[in-house]
């Protein structure tokens, strides 16, 4: 079980530091005690016959991490909610999750009220005790949300009448789920990716095999719990007997000082985070001698950034990590040597080879393997592969295919929609997307989802969203939306979009046109729109 990586360390090293958050250090024994009390309360509150899932809505604090571990210890899957996204998106995740319980901290209760007002049926709300020993306490809801309560010992407290949360479709082996994360969906709504304990165990075990151990390791966590790199930060750290350090702010300008102050040994982030540090001249020579392992992922990794990082962290291994959420955090890695980074022909780092236990295969449109060196779609197989999306009706389930290939043990594969080819001494090299999915600062975005929202907010006849600007490494800096026959001003449409989309998915501007350019096939010519952006004719 995923939580065993933490609790096994807590049993053998209870006095070792496990978590630094909110300017305080907590040892394994203290966090384990809090988590067990939360687990006892949750086990008592879970309605019989309901999915063993519990939503977690909390800022990154000791209560949040103990709550996450408590959910897992109770035998449930955790479903994190992001406090930094609009209420409409929070409500959509709550509804789709089918979770009958929601564990919330006091700072998020006000945010929760608006989200619950958008739902017909609400989960039972349980309030985390942040000041005490980690109990799930009796809570009177000052905001008007429906709150339930349980005592720390697991005895039934005063419960408001159960609400009738919409039952989510059953998933195969749902009892084995560790967590459910929601990614951008091409249909205009986020889609749930359920990850099992077996998937997560395979990933963490593979990381320990790949990276080895560092005594008294100090990991940093920069991302929210709704992003799968958080799983790496937490459980690879705790499996290694390390301590997880959680900055109060994730503004990149403060990252360098945080590494130095806490002698961080393991750094994991999107390349953009290091890029901002480089921009603010925080990557000077030997700035981070404590760092031993650096892992970048989520977007293309430029060679010049790697060079700067290697100068700043000369004692560190640097790995470029790759993997969709559906394959549990990462499925491939390329370790960058100084010699490789010094070669100017390598503008962007390759994806490399499969992680332990995983398999990669490049195929053509008919799913037949391509010849060595030829381009095609990257397939991913292995024990980290999810069973499918939370909803069996999710259109994206077509990306999960059953195929047998000579020389490969995997029987199920995930079609990544990433174009790639294999290059000697580099492994897999990324060559772009075969669909319209992009990433901005590591955040996965389906352009169709943004287009759905923009069109709904503008009542436009036609809408097209493109990534702009895009740098030489292929990293998108933002979005621009083009609409025809829209109602209301561009500012009005943007304000409406901010109520429905995460900040990273809100277009930087709305461009109103009389007509959208079409290609010879009668489809919207996105290349022409990008050329308009480049010439500044359409967006001046």
Four-point Cα dihedral 329, 335, 336, 339, nearest 10:
-170
pLDDT of 347 reads 85
CA 489, CA 491: separation in Å to the nearest integer?
5
CA 196, CA 52: separation in Å to the nearest integer?
13
List, for residues 361-399, the tens digit of each pLDDT value. 999 999 999 998 899 999 999 999 999 999 887 778 899
Q: Distance between alpha carbon 322 and the CA centroid of its chain, in Å?
A: 13
Choice among 18-27, 43-52, 108-117, 315-324 with the minimum mean pLDDT: 43-52
CA 278, CA 117: separation in Å to the nearest integer?
43
Res. 210: pLDDT tops 70: yes
pLDDT of 151 reads 32
pLDDT of 322 reads 95
What are the Cα distances from residue 206, in Å, to 173, 238, 291, 331, 524? 22, 14, 21, 10, 43
Q: How do strand 24-27 and strand 17-21 relate by DSSP bridges?
A: antiparallel
pLDDT band at 431 (very low <50, low <70, confident <90, very high): confident
Classify domain 27-168 at the CATH topology level.
Rossmann fold (3.40.50)
List, for residues 486-540, the tens digit of each pLDDT value. 888 989 999 999 988 989 899 998 998 888 887 755 667 878 888 888 776 444 3
Compare 153 and 342 and report the one with higher pLDDT: 342
List, for residues 74-84, the tens digit of each pLDDT value. 999 999 999 98
Mean pLDDT, all residues of the chain:
86
pLDDT of 131 reads 63
pLDDT of 522 reads 63
Indicate the angle between helix axes 62-73 and 4-12, nearest 10 degrees. 110
Is the entire prediction scored with pTM above 0.75?
yes
Choice among 248-262, 324-338, 375-389 with the minimum mean pLDDT: 248-262
- Specify the domain boundaries for CATH 3.30.300.30 within the chain: 438-535
Classify domain 198-433 at the CATH topology level.
Rossmann fold (3.40.50)
CA 370, CA 265: separation in Å to the nearest integer?
40
Measuring CA to CA, which residue among 386, 322, 390, 393 is closest to residue 360?
Answer: 322
- Specify the domain boundaries for CATH 3.40.50.980 within the chain: 27-168
pLDDT of 2 reads 95
pLDDT of 434 reads 79
Indicate the angle between helix axes 303-312 and 271-279, nearest 10 degrees. 70
pLDDT of 187 reads 58
Classify domain 438-535 at the CATH topology level.
GMP Synthetase; Chain A, domain 3 (3.30.300)
Choice among 115-119, 152-156, 192-196, 440-444 with the minimum mean pLDDT: 152-156
Report residue 534 as tokens. 């480049």
Choice among 237-246, 393-402, 418-427, 472-481 with the minimum mean pLDDT: 472-481
Question: What percent of the chain clears pLDDT 90, i.e. is strictly above it?
Answer: 56
List, for residues 141-169, the tens digit of each pLDDT value. 434 444 443 333 233 222 232 333 333 33
For the chain, what is the largest distance between any 2 Cα atoms, rounded to a whole number of angstroms? 68
- Specify the domain boundaries for CATH 3.40.50.12780 within the chain: 198-433
Question: What percent of the chain clears pLDDT 70, i.e. is strictly above it?
Answer: 89
């Amino acid at each position: 079980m995923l939580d065993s990586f933490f609790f096994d360390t807590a049993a053998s090293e209870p006095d070792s530091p496990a978590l630094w958050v909110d300017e305080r250090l907590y040892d394994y024994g203290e966090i384990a005690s809090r988590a067990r009390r939360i687990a006892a309360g949750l086990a008592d509150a879970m309605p019989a016959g309901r999915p063993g899932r519990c939503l977690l809505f909390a800022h990154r604090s000791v209560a949040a991490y103990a709550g996450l571990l408590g959910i897992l210890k109770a035998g449930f899957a955790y479903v994190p909610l992001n406090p930094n996204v609009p209420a409409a998106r929070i409500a959509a995740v709550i509804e789709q999750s089918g979770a009958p319980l929601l564990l919330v901290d006091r700072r998020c209760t006000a945010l929760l009220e608006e989200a619950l007002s958008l739902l017909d049926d609400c989960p039972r709300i349980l309030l985390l005790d942040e000041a005490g020993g980690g109990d799930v306490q009796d809570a009177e809801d000052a905001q008007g949300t429906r709150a339930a309560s349980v005592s720390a010992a697991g005895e039934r407290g005063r419960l408001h009448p159960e609400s009738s949360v919409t039952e989510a479709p059953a998933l195969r082996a749902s009892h084995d789920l560790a967590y459910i994360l929601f990614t951008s969906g091409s249909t205009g709504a986020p889609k749930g990716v359920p990850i099992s304990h077996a998937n997560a165990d395979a990933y963490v075990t593979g990381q320990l095999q790949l990276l080895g151990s560092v005594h008294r390791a100090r990991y940093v966590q920069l991302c929210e719990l709704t992003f799968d790199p958080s799983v790496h930060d937490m459980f690879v750290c705790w499996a290694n007997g390390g301590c997880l350090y959680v900055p109060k702010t994730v503004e990149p300008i403060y990252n360098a000082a945080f590494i130095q102050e806490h002698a961080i040994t393991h750094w994991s982030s999107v390349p953009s985070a290091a890029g901002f540090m480089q921009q603010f001249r925080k990557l000077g020579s030997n700035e981070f001698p404590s760092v031993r392992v650096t892992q970048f992922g989520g977007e293309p990794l430029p060679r010049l950034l790697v060079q700067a990082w290697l100068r700043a962290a000369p004692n560190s291994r640097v790995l470029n990590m790759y993997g969709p959420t559906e394959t549990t955090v990462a499925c491939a890695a390329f370790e960058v040597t100084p010699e490789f980074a010094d070669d100017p022909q390598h503008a962007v780092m390759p994806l490399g080879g499969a992680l332990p236990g995983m398999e990669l295969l490049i195929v053509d449109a008919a799913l037949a393997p391509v010849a060595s060196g030829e381009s095609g779609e990257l397939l991913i197989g292995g024990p980290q592969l999810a069973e499918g999306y939370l909803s069996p009706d999710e259109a994206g389930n077509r990306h999960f295919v059953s195929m047998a290939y000579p020389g490969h043990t995997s029987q199920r594969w995930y079609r990544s929609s990433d174009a790639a080819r294999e290059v000697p001494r580099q492994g897999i090299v990324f060559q772009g997307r075969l669909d319209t999915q992009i990433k901005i600062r590591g955040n996965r975005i389906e352009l169709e989802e943004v287009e759905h929202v923009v069109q709904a907010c503008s009542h436009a006849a036609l809408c097209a969203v493109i990534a702009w600007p895009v740098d030489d490494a292929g990293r998108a800096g933002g979005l621009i939306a083009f609409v025809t026959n829209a109602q209301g001003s561009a500012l009005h449409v943007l304000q409406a979009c901010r109520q429905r989309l995460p900040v990273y998915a809100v277009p930087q501007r709305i461009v109103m046109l009389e007509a959208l350019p079409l290609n010879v096939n009668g489809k919207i010519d996105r290349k022409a729109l990008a050329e308009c952006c480049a010439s500044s004719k359409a967006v001046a």
